[in-house]
Amino acid sequence: MASRPIFHTLPYYPFYEEIDVDFVYFSGFSKIQKQKSLNSLQSNYILKFKTRKVIDISTKSTSDLGVKLSAFNLKVKYKNNLFPVECLFQGSKTFKSGGPYRDLLSKNPKDAKRDKRLKESGELIHFNYFNMIFPLEPKDYFYNWLYINSLYRNPGLAKRILEFDSFSDIEFNPKRSVNCQARAVAIFVGLSKSKKLEEAMKSKESFFKVVYGEKHHNKVEQLNIFKM
């Protein structure tokens, strides 16, 4: 048995709740094995919450929509070029001894994620998204902004995902990483249902205030003043 989170959207702050679900884990890296684990995870979730509609957001999803919404496949246009979210995320990392490595934008998402420079350039200091600087705290701030902003710019996919209220990512292991595309989708749907999406998309500062709360915003401002 294993346990993984499923993110259920909420129409109010913090726009999602995280529910840990036990399921039968099928070892192996093949798509078939991953989907066996996924079916067990989602089946056990539906046993508890029979009226909810769950979809997996990953390349191993059994749903075509879920595959399209993977950070490896979801793309956003910048200066007439389309870039996958994963490449934009990795290509924005700025380290003490290097980066951001813009050439990662044109790489295959898997290759971009595995680029050795990301582990050989020292301490991560911030994210530089086309000269927009994002701090490291909150830890998922930049990733959530990037993913939700990208989904917002894909209205066809955005409309379809509103049919669901619960989101899994069979590739996500909370013990190994912080950022999660399923969580980002849950926040997007929560923002949409609460009529806060347009406000959040005005700027990265507006996104921070809406998604992370005014209290968190004030705390970060105080820390920034202290560092000056």
What is the signed CA dihedral for 220, 222, 227, 228, rounded to 10 degrees?
120
Q: What would the pLDDT profile of 103-115 be if each residue is shown by its tens digit? A: 999 999 999 999 9
Please report the pLDDT score of residue 225 as a whole number.
43
| 158: three-class secondary structure by DSSP | helix
- The residues pairing with 133 across neighbouring beta strands, listed in sequence order, are 128
Please report the pLDDT score of residue 89 as a whole number.
99
Q: Write out residues in the chain with pLDDT < 70, as ranges.
A: 214-228
Residue 62: burial class (beta carbons within 10 Å; 0-12, 13-18, 19+): middle
Where in the chain are the domains?
2-73+154-194, 77-134
Please report the pLDDT score of residue 223 as a whole number.
43
How many Å apart are CA 42 and CA 132, to the nearest integer?
38
CB 129 within 8 A of CB 88: yes
Q: What would the pLDDT profile of 8-40 be if each residue is shown by its tens digit? A: 999 999 999 999 999 999 999 899 999 999 999
Q: What would the pLDDT profile of 159-169 be if each residue is shown by its tens digit? A: 999 999 999 99
